[in-house]
Chains A and B, each alone.
Chain A
Amino acid sequence: MIWKEVFVLLRKELLLEWRQKYAINGILLYLVSTIFVCYLSFNLRQNRLNPVTWNVLFWIIMLFTAVNAVAKSFIQEKKGRQLYYYTLVSPQGIILSKIIYNLLLMLVLASMGLFFYSIVMGNPVADMPLFMLNVLLASIGFSTTLTMVSSIASKADNNGSLMAILSFPILLPMLLMVIKISKHAMDGLDFSASKDEILTLMAINLLVGAVSYLLFPYLWRT
């Protein structure tokens, strides 16, 4: 029952995106220009980034892109239309469809980002499958947390800076795990070395997801 709702809503989100090409084009340009700014600022034609910087810079760029990309998800639609949805579907359907949509968006952004980033900054990753698994887990975590936070921030008036201050401290533990796993992937360490971190990351994702799922119906009512 709920999955049917989620499917319909997800289709609506994707269709809206396809027709307007609003979020994806804007945010892709944001991503590419940020990467280019970093490239020119580090003056990479003469220097090479050391692996730690490469890793951290990539995830910081992804963090800021994610915050900007997801921030729109509840502001984009008018209050009246949200009221209309309220009469039609369950809040759980809304939050799940938004999380899945943002997850897809994050995956597109992360892979495009990695592509451009590798072109200009080089790609020192040794264990690509582990890195991609890490990207997937990070996208799940980012999209869940940020979808919930953006729905909270959209209720307040000045939500530009609010989005960042509400989400950064919550995302930090996740980000630390992600950076650690991705460093392991770059060094080509054995999978068992990053098992603890992967499990912790999944546990955090699960916790945040469950709390969002439970709390969103209360938020939706206001």
Chain B
Amino acid sequence: MRKYWWKVVAILMLLYVIVGGLMFRVPRLNILNETIRALHFHVPMWFGMIILLFISAFYSVRYLSKSEQHLDDKAIAFANIGVVFGFLGLFTGMFWAKFTWNEWWSGDPKQNTSAIALLIYLAYLVLRHSFTDEQQRARVGAIYNIFAFAALIPLLFVLPRMTHSLHPGNGGNPGFNAYDLDSNLRKVFYPAVIAWTLMGVWMATLRIRLKRVEQEVIEKYAVS
């Protein structure tokens, strides 16, 4: 119980988010209407992606200073799940955009920069596959991972704010706070961010454990 309490918390919170996000009263706003409920499923994907990629970069830094294989396994697992979250964020965003901005892809700066971010991380995955030596893969992968994360910071946080965007909070559009004054949304949104991120961490830990089991099986059969 001591070790997996947070998984129970994640499941309960996700249940709450799904029920609450779909059932609770939401503010009536022009254009958005009921689609505002997508807030609980789209925005947490980006929060989750950034947190997961940050954890991945953190493990890459640790790998470079310690050179222990399990640190690299963690870095790649978190990066993988981060990319999955990124794609989910992109797709949920596209669906939301179809109903509010009437286009799947409207060339919004945030859409473009998130697509570039995904390209960077897909390149990271390709780079890792081009090595056969495990140690070299881990080291070069870690270096590109840190480099990519550093390049991601201006991409996600600086550039979209410099241009006009359809997203709330950019270029004269009302910020997030402007339309959840009744704080009903917030009651679901913050748990949603935490719950989806915990879900991502859980998925990553499963992959790490799977990798460890695989390695032990290989070692066992290599000896006998």
| Residues of A in contact with B (beta carbons under 8 Å apart) | 148-149, 152, 155-158, 162, 165-166, 168-170, 172-173, 176, 196-197, 200, 203-204, 207-208, 211-212, 215, 218-219, 221-222
Contacts and interface: CB of A to CB of B under 8 A. Distances in A.
Contacts of B126: 162, 165
Q: State the main secondary structure of chain B at its contact with A.
A: helix
21 contacts: A152-B143, A155-B131, A156-B131, A157-B130, A162-B126, A165-B119, A165-B123, A169-B116, A169-B120, A169-B123, A200-B159, A203-B154, A203-B158, A207-B153, A208-B150, A215-B64, A215-B143, A218-B143, A219-B139, A219-B143, A222-B139
Contacts of B119: 165, 168-169
Which range contains the number of B residues in contact with the other chain? 20 to 34
Interface in B116-140: 116-117, 119-120, 123, 126-127, 130-131, 135-136, 139-140
Contact of A158 (B130, B139, B158): B130
Contact of B127 (A162, A168, A169, A219): A162
B136 A155 contact: yes
A152 B144 contact: yes
Given A162-B126, A165-B126, A156 B162 contact: no
Contact of B154 (A148, A149, A204): A204
Contacts of B117: 169
B150 A166 contact: no
Nearest to A211: B150
B146 interface: yes
A177 B62 CA distance: 33
Contacts of B136: 155, 222
